[in-house]
Structure 1
Amino acid sequence: MSCAFSLLESCHLPCSRYLSTTFRFSRGFYQMQRPIKHKTLCLCRNMQTFACELVKASYVPTPQTKPKDQSLAKVETIGAFQKLPMVMPSVDIFQSALRKAKRVLPTKGIANVAKRERNRGAKQLDALMKELAVPLRGYIENFPKRIYLHPYERSLIELTFGAGNYEEVLKKVDALRKKVVSVGKEHASLCAKSLSKKEAEERLTEGLEKLQEIFKCEGQAIDDLLYIAKTLRAMPVVDLEMPTLCLVGAPNVGKSSLVRLLSTGKPEVCNYPFTTRGILMGHITLDYQHFQVTDTPGLLKRCDEDRNNLEKLTLAVLSHLPTAILYVHDLSGQCGMSPSDQFMIYKEISERFGNHLWLDVISKCDLLKESPVVFITEDREVDHLELANYQKIGPEGALRVSVKNEDGIDKLKKKVHELLMSQMERIKSKRIQDNIEVLR
């Protein structure tokens, strides 16, 4: 049998409408007192509630478990990479810690030389251990766990460093920290038990050399973490509240040239496939409004299992970011891929990401006046009306542009502006819907 009681601190104020009742809890029972002859207002503060279990006519408090904090599993918003701590090289960490440790003096007032020396040695080893362990613990705590990251940033980590490598480096850093703490405490304890000044000095030197050896052998994990931090911090930041235009297509179809023409982004432009080696960002300002533009690596005709990490980066952007798609086609064949292969890629992407706002663009239209390049790999036996139309005029409603002659560029900019404004309306509607869900 259990019951709950509330302990109240009461104060009585004159009032003509309320009658107070006071409860007193004493020795397993409660008494109700009502000797009040006037009307008062009872105000309660500092209410505390606890549960009791009735055991042999006495009340015994029972432990109460706190509810689990659901906010711990909250997924981070985009931008976690810019919050990463600055990581020092392993050599600098050790040298800085060693300088600080050697400045530690023995406790004042120790007259005995042997006691003073072992006190100094133990304190310096303990200080060195702490100076090494504290920054490592800070790295472990401040580098986010991958499961709490935004799905887009989670994909960037996996595709940039490989599956599990990010967590493996953090585990090695934590293992190094634990080893430093263990060895530091062990040698500090040995130094504190020295029987002479010479023995204390020897154990101090031995402890310093042991910690240096550990850091030299296993400090590569810190340098690996430094590389990870630099790479992630250099990743382009995407604003989820700002409309984003994502250029997609096969390699070398002219996506980077259009990004340079439409935005402030300056990706490398070369006449060979996979010039774009990552996600590149630019910005557009139209009618005093700011938009984002992202250039993505080209896609090849193959299944997802056979795609390289560059192609998977493109799919990660389309899967996890609210983008409008500007799909670029090259019917001239100058990109190195036949129109029929481009058509197959286009059909796959349009079916997978058909919920995105979409605009088709045929680039290099100045080359279409000449005879198109015929590929040996072209499937001539395919009797498909849609494919035949695609090879001649591209997708229905596609814009024809030429960066070289600037043909159709003004019309493209107008269409891009309309597309991004529609994307802005979609983002606003999504935000309103999310707020309604929160209120519910």
Structure 2
Amino acid sequence: MSGAFSLFESWHIPCTRFLSRTFQFSRGSYDMQRPIKRQALCFCRNMQTVTCEIVDASYVPAPQNKPKDKRSPQVETIGAFQKLPMVMPSVDIFHSAMRKAKRVLPTKGIANIARRERNRGAKQLDALMKELAVPLRGYIENFPKRTYLHPYERSLIELTLGDGNYEEVLRKVDALRKKVVSVGKEHASLCAKSLSKREAEERLTEGLEKLQEIFKREGQAVDNLLYIAKTLRAMPVVDLEMPTLCLVGAPNVGKSSLVRMLSTGKPEVCNYPFTTRGILMGHITINYQHFQVTDTPGLLKRCDEDRNNLEKLTLAVLSHLPTAILYVHDLSGECGMSPSDQFVIYKEIRERFDNHLWLDVVSKCDLLQESSVVFITEDGETNHLELAKYLKIGPKGAIHVSVKSEEGLNELTNNVHEVLMAQMGRIRSSKIPENIEVA
């Protein structure tokens, strides 16, 4: 026979009662029976509900599973890299832990010399183990898992550190922590079981040397984590709430010069390709509104599988951040890439990111006016009408500028301001719920 039932007991005392009272006055007396309502104490006892099963005429408490917290970790917004903990070099961690451990004294009141020495040795080994393990555990807990990062920062980790290197370093740090804890507990236990003062001192020395050897041999993982923290913390912070203009184009077309002209950003400007080795940020202020400008590495004419990490970094910015695009063209040939190849790259990027606000700029127009060079495409598409127009004036509606002669810079600045204001409108409209009408 089996079944289940619940027990519940509850009792209370009535909380009110009525009393009568006689009132007397000096010029006469009379009785007035008036009910008076008084509050009385209320006693209540509840018994916890218990579910039982009846098995062979016996009551057996049924197992009760507590509901598990199914809340998944929240995905981080951009800025997780600036929250990374400060990592100490492995040498500093060990020397600091050793100094603190050696200051640990035996428990007071132990008269026997052997007992006092093994107590001191066990406590010092335990203290050293904890001083080494605690910071390592803090690093493991406070470095975010890549799964819960913003897709943009996830891409930065992969492209900057290499695929899987971030997790591998954290795994090695955790393995070092576990080994330190295991060895520290083992030698502390051996020291506590010593039979003489001499044996306790030998066990203490042996344990300290063993922990030092482990940390010296495998502490490189901590130094690698220190490098990762410095690298990621140096990444520019992109505010998703702030409209952003991203400069894109082939290498050495003049993107960095335009960033310096348009914003507060000061990227390196040199006359050779791939000067920009990462994402560089600048800011613009228009009517007390703040905007971001990013300089990106140049793109080459090749498929995505053959692109280097710098090119993939540019594509990651366009893929994961809500940016407007300022595409820079160099038709003078000075950048080292023919305009026909630039046209191929431009068409590909324009089709892939067509949902972004777009602004085309032809840079170095002072050199273009002096140039009489005619570029012939490798594909034999010289007669293609669209390509022919591109080779002559660039994309339709492109602004011709020259940082050297300052030609077209005012027009470019005004158009950039208009694009950024439009980008701000996009960001604000995306925050409005669909069921709310905007007047």
Structure of greater Rg: 2
Alignment of 1:226-375 (within 5 A): 226-374=226-374
Note closer, same or farther for the CA distance 1:398–1:9 as it changes in structure 2 (3 Å cut).
farther
- Distance in 1 (CA, whole Å) between partners of 2:391 and 2:66 is 68
Partner of 2:412: helix, strand, or coil? helix
CA distance in 1, matches of 2:11, 2:336: 83
**Alignment-mate amino acid for residue 66 of structure 1:** P
Give, in whole Å, the separation in 2 of the partners of 1:335 and 1:50: 80
Structure 1 position 154 matched with structure 2 position 149: no
Shift of 1:66: 1.2
Distance 1:305 1:47, change over 3 A: farther
TM-score normalised per structure 2? 0.87
Q: Which amino acid counterpart does residue 266 of structure 1 have in structure 2?
A: K
C-alpha deviation, 1:393, in angstroms: 1.1
Q: CA deviation at 1:286?
A: 1.3
Match of 1:103 in 2: 103
Contact persistence 1:333–1:372 (CA under 8 A): no
**How high is the TM-score relative to the length of structure 1?**
0.87
Which residue of the partner structure matches residue 430 of structure 1? Answer: 430
In the alignment, is residue 66 of structure 1 matched against residue 45 of structure 2?
no
Conserved 8 A contact 1:331-1:372: no
Q: What is the CA–CA distance in structure 1 between the aligned matches of 2:132 and 2:435, rounded to whole Å?
A: 46
Output one character per residue of 1:283-333: Cα deviation in whole Å (capped at 9) or x when no partner.
001121110000000000000110000000000000000000000001111
For 2:202, give the aligned amino acid: E
2:132 aligned with 1:132: yes
**Using a 3 Å threshold, how does the CA distance of structure 1 residues 209 and 9 change in structure 2: closer, same or farther?**
farther
Shift of 1:60: 3.9
Q: 1:80, CA displacement in angstroms?
A: 0.3
* Deviation readout 1:53-87 (Å, 9 max, x if unpaired): 55368684441341442332x21100000000000
Give the C-alpha shift of residue 180 in structure 1: 0.4
- 1:191 and 1:204 in contact (8 A); partners too: yes
Question: Which one-letter code corresponds to 2:51 in the other structure?
Answer: C
Amino acid at match of 1:52: T
**2:143 corresponds to:** 143
* Number of residue pairs the alignment of both structures matches: 408
Shift of 1:192: 0.8
Asked whether the equivalents of residues 332 and 372 of structure 1 are also in contact (C-alpha less than 8 Å), the reply is no
Return closer, same or farther for 1:373/1:201 CA change in 2, 3 Å cut-off.
Answer: farther
- Residue in structure 2 matched with residue 78 of structure 1 by the alignment: 78
Q: Separation in 2 of the partners of 1:196 and 1:82?
A: 52
Question: Deviation at 1:370?
Answer: 1.5
Contact 1:252 1:273 in 2 (8 A): yes
- The structure-2 alpha-carbon separation of the partners of 1:391 and 1:140, relative to structure 1 and needing over 3 Å to count, comes to same
Q: Give the drift of 1:379.
A: 4.0
Residue 242 to residue 379, structure 1, CA distance change in 2 (3 Å): same
Q: CA deviation at 1:117?
A: 0.6
| Counterpart for residue 201 of structure 1 | 201
String of CA shifts for 1:313-360, please: whole Å, max 9, x gaps.
000000000000000001111111011100110011011110111101
Measured on the aligned residues, the alpha-carbon RMSD in Å equals: 2.6
Partner of 2:188 in structure 1? 188
> C-alpha offsets along residues 179-223 of structure 1, whole Å, 9 cap, x if unaligned?
000110111111111111111111111111111111111000000
Q: Distance in 1 between matches of 2:256 and 2:109?
A: 73
Match of 1:326, SS state, is strand
> Residue by residue, what CA displacement relative to the aligned partner does 1:88-111 show, whole Å, maximum 9, x if unpaired?
000000000000000000000111
Q: What is the SS of the residue equivalent to 1:64? A: coil
SS, match of residue 292 in structure 2? strand
Q: CA, structure 1 residues 4+218, in 2 after alignment: closer, same or farther (shift >3 Å)?
A: same
User: Whole-Å Cα distance in 2 between the matches of residues 5 and 419 of structure 1?
Assistant: 70
Change (3 A) 1:142 1:301: same
Change (3 A) 1:110 1:86: same
What runs of 5+ residues in structure 1 fail to find an aligned partner? 15-37
CA distance in 2, matches of 1:357, 1:170: 40
The 10-residue stretch of structure 1 (348-357 or 59-68) with the greater mean CA deviation from structure 2: 59-68
Q: Distance in 2 between matches of 1:154 and 1:6?
A: 54
Query: How far apart are 1:373 and its partner, in Å?
Result: 3.9
Alpha-carbon distance change, 47 to 386 in structure 1, aligned in 2, over 3 angstroms: farther
